[in-house]
Chains A and B, each alone.
Chain A
């Protein structure tokens, strides 16, 4: 009997394998980046590529950092590790934030030795104090990164936190990097009577409803208690309102940087006032909205409305550069004027000018697939913009354009790069703006200056013969480099204004990449093994690498091929 059983078992095993191949397994280790120290209690997620709906497989790391997935069906997978206090890490990543490399698992394969390097986040803390050394509660403290946008340096808020009643803040789980620290003091005007103070640098998030049974209240809540002649400005560490004098704070992986205290003193503030006038009839205009928008990385807007006599007044304006804007759509007039507020009260009459009419034509296979956008070119966020959809013959007319400096865009193929380039629909993948002119003025590589009724029309030419660039990235030892950024930048002359021409790609497992839909012209192409996202938008950063790029000329309708050496 025993003999028979053994024989049967031998028969059974091969049959089983043939019908239902032994499932694969994946074994690996999570370590702290740059070391062999294990990360325990990390959650490892194994997600099958192209199967987004399915629940990923999950495992946890042991105290020695190891993890094991059993019964893994064959396929291509991404493997991501997460844990409180660490940046998410993907297997095959060169550094945190750079792309990972998929794991290909064959049926029955025992995959071992997968290593995920996890970068610990950093924390920064300190106190915000007023000029008397008293705690400033309820102020937002922000970590900022510089960013180049349309040739201008701006700042982007990466993380933000509020101080408590002791003026203390602690910003945590910060990706290691260098940051500017910025304090936004409490608003000057108290919230309206009865409004609870929701202290959030981002406002009330969606999905959270606040309910209350009443709102009757006899008193006004918190203001900052400053007199008329003073106002707060955002202050950068170590204590300056001038962003150029701000000091970068470096946060190493796992760092807990304490004592980043900032003293916030109010600034001399002035009153700006005057009349809103009809520039043609010189009559005062009542009930017209007036906005004062600060120019800088954190634009602030102060606003009011002209009274029955056409007067407006904005108190407590900190010194600095502003745009004074008044658009009276119904009256068909408007004005945008730069003003410099100094430490004395100032008079500024706003003479509204009639809106101008800007017209033109877009030459394209299907003009109605596009819209034309004029955007005011001031260094302010949410700059006013005017959109128009062309008629079937490509003609368009914008009737309410106030005097000012503009950039011209063609939606969806030529758009401001804020903060990441938008994607054009597939049907327009090969379309690009070949030329934009008004008379002799090149509007594609320049700006539109409107200070009177334009005499000529805008001519926009859209072409569809875009080129492409393919290639391979090799390291110094001539081995292909996978999962690195390849960055295509226009030649230096056009680099500040033509951020729309910036293109990026990531190399595959064989070090190859492909970029399509490229407008013909001269470019330089770069590939870094380690680079911070969008660092190439900073001209100072690029100066150090310009020579390591490869010049390429993209020709319409053709594919160029290059072989690049990665920049370590």
Chain B
């Protein structure tokens, strides 16, 4: 009964707020205050010199937050006074990287915080922000003879999910010294994968990439300088070798890498990396680029070999074709690549898959072709057709390569005319896959209802045939497209309000709420919605495209893990089905999955 009562009272507060305009409250209401302390995680030890930052979202979405900062004294305490009622975020940081930032409403050092709500005149006391000390990983990198490898780039990587695939991004990159030693530091507590790859000594410089612990976002890097070619001596013979990223445990497959657990304030020593498994003979690709328009060799064409498997640190060897269109790329590993090429103007391009293997590839002919135009029409469902709908020219239709190709321009977005017609020019390279986006000034509650190429559904269809590849809607363009692309927009997204409760039916604050479309459309990652329950266990999910969904409340879950179909198999029973209709407002009570 209790949760139900709370929900009622919550509604009452909401109604009250709605009744008084916000500016009235902010002008007349007595001010609020927050007092608290910053301590070391799991102790009462205060942290002096920490900066507590209280911020409010900016006036417009995407605008920078307005923030007030105070620095803690020896007692670790902080106070904010004369605050207007409203929603705030509270974060504590400390210069120097030895502490992980703490956010209000966090359940552990890596989980997201929640906003706090101050009512008029409220004096919030005894707020505690606990900062975890960062940790370190150290070890040695050595070659197949047991000799130290200097100038190897060592990366600390973490899991992330991209459209259902588990990938690794990197948090930090350091270099080994002449003794092969490395030390990764300022690592927020968590689970890491450590990998190393030697770099070309001439071009390596000394770049250390240290993310401060407060970083948000995913990072990966692409090295397009000279690949790390190394002449070494094997059986008294000099051979040219290059390297794949080799993980702790001696694997080159990121999915088989052995994790390293870093606890607050601890150094994990002895994470030694033998590079033998990732040391491979360098192979070369030699060929000619032709321009399809002239049939002639493409002088000065740019050719780049991108590894097909995504890595936090990938090396993309490249070359520029000579006057006869001929090129040679050296330093490829035995991995599979996509060879991307474009002529000097950049608008005539192509790609060629290169299989995994060890032998050099010779006399390959690459034909660069211009992209093709795609015509289409966009409309609002149920809205009478006219020649000058004022909303349509405020939209933009984008057709972008999926995945994106570094260095290859994405086709320019098209602005529909008043009758909804549009043309996206130069969609290429041919043979690639594309995603379709509708952007711009969408009316409130608008969503994409369908995208069809002629009669073919290119929004919900699954075109990836190979297992393991992500499955989702999209457009495959092999040549001229003679059918129109028809985009229909609906109006009336739905909202879900809810409360997360634990096994004792008590409100469960700070839990991760995930809304996933039902299985046939699970690959539509654009339909996924997430939130964190607040101090009262409540949450709200908005802008939901009408349809059938499952909703989950997780106690702890790695960000994006819900996109992984294999991971979700074990949890599908723990979700609740919700059907969202146009403009509907659903209410749910969710049991937290332990």
Contact = CB atoms under 8 A, between A and B. Distances in A.
B219 A196 contact: yes
A209 B406 CA distance: 10
Interface in A219-233: 219-225
A138 interface: yes
Contacts of B212: 196-197, 221-222
B136 A165 contact: yes
A208 B223 contact: yes
Given A165-B183, A170-B177, A225-B95, A208 B221 contact: yes
Interface stretch (B203-211, B461-469, B501-509): B203-211
Interface stretch (A198-206, A245-253, A336-344): A198-206
B82 interface: no
B183 A214 contact: no
A216 B216 contact: yes
A220 B186 CA distance: 16
Q: Which of B93, B181, B233 has the most CB of A within 10 A?
A: B233
A49 B472 CA distance: 58
A458 interface: no
B49 interface: yes
Given A212-B218, A225-B49, A206 B91 contact: no
Interface in A49-75: 58-60, 62
A152 B461 CA distance: 71
A162 B185 CA distance: 12
Nearest to A160: B206
B161 to A, nearest CB: 12
A166 B269 CA distance: 14
B238 A59 contact: yes
Nearest to A200: B207
Contact of A173 (B150, B215, B222, B224): B150
Q: Which of A209, A210, A215, A222 has the most CB of B within 10 A?
A: A222
A60 B237 contact: yes
B437 interface: no
B236 interface: yes
A383 interface: no
Contacts of A138: 97, 210
B97 A211 contact: no
B209 A225 contact: no
B99 to A, nearest CB: 11
B435 to A, nearest CB: 15
A218 interface: yes
A417 B507 CA distance: 74
A76 interface: no
Q: Which of A168, A202, A212 has the most CB of B within 10 A?
A: A212
Nearest to B67: A218
Interface residues of A, number: 53
Contacts of B91: 218-219
A222 B97 contact: yes
A124 B214 CA distance: 32
Contacts of B183: 164-166, 168
A173 B178 CA distance: 7
Nearest to A138: B210
A205 B406 CA distance: 18
A270 to B, nearest CB: 22
Interface string A152-176: 0000000011101110101011000
B152 to A, nearest CB: 12
Contacts of B181: 170
Nearest to A203: B207
A457 interface: no
A200 to B, nearest CB: 4
Given A196-B219, A212-B219, A222-B95, A137 B206 contact: no
Contacts of B147: 84
B238 A58 contact: yes
B98 interface: yes
A208 B233 contact: no
A219 B101 contact: yes
A43 interface: yes
A84 B231 CA distance: 11
A201 to B, nearest CB: 7
Given A84-B150, A217-B216, A205 B203 contact: yes
A206 B101 CA distance: 32
A209 B186 CA distance: 23
A207 interface: yes
Given A201-B206, A225-B95, A218 B222 contact: no
Contacts of B272: none
A454 B163 CA distance: 70
B223 A218 contact: no
Contacts of B219: 196, 210-212
A136 to B, nearest CB: 9
A225 B221 contact: no
Contacts of A209: 221-224, 406
A190 interface: yes
Given A164-B183, A217-B216, A199 B208 contact: yes
Contact of B214 (A41, A198, A215, A217): A217
B353 to A, nearest CB: 22
Given A59-B238, A173-B150, A219-B101, A137 B96 contact: yes
A305 B258 CA distance: 52
Contacts of B89: 218
B53 interface: yes
Q: Which of A206, A217, A219 has the most CB of B within 10 A?
A: A219
A173 B150 CA distance: 10
Contacts of B93: 219-221
A520 interface: no
A114 to B, nearest CB: 17
B220 A208 contact: no
B279 to A, nearest CB: 15
Nearest to A206: B225
Given A162-B206, A172-B178, A213 B185 contact: no
A210 B214 contact: no
A213 B222 CA distance: 14
B87 to A, nearest CB: 13
B361 interface: no
B55 interface: yes
Contacts of B231: 43, 58
Contacts of A41: 233
Nearest to A202: B205
A164 B91 CA distance: 26
A146 interface: no
A176 to B, nearest CB: 14
Given A170-B177, A214-B216, A208 B95 contact: no
A97 interface: no
B211 A205 contact: no
B65 interface: yes
B430 to A, nearest CB: 25
A190 B238 contact: no
Given A123-B178, A220-B51, A222-B96, 15 more contacts: A43-B231, A137-B96, A160-B206, A168-B183, A173-B150, A199-B207, A205-B203, A205-B207, A214-B216, A215-B217, A216-B216, A216-B217, A217-B214, A220-B93, A221-B93
Interface of B: 49, 51, 53, 55, 64-65, 67, 89, 91, 93-98, 101, 103, 134, 136, 147, 150, 174, 177-179, 181, 183, 185-186, 203, 205-212, 214-225, 231, 233, 236-238, 406
16 contacts: A58-B231, A58-B238, A85-B178, A162-B208, A165-B97, A193-B64, A196-B212, A196-B219, A202-B205, A207-B203, A208-B221, A208-B222, A208-B224, A209-B222, A221-B215, A223-B95
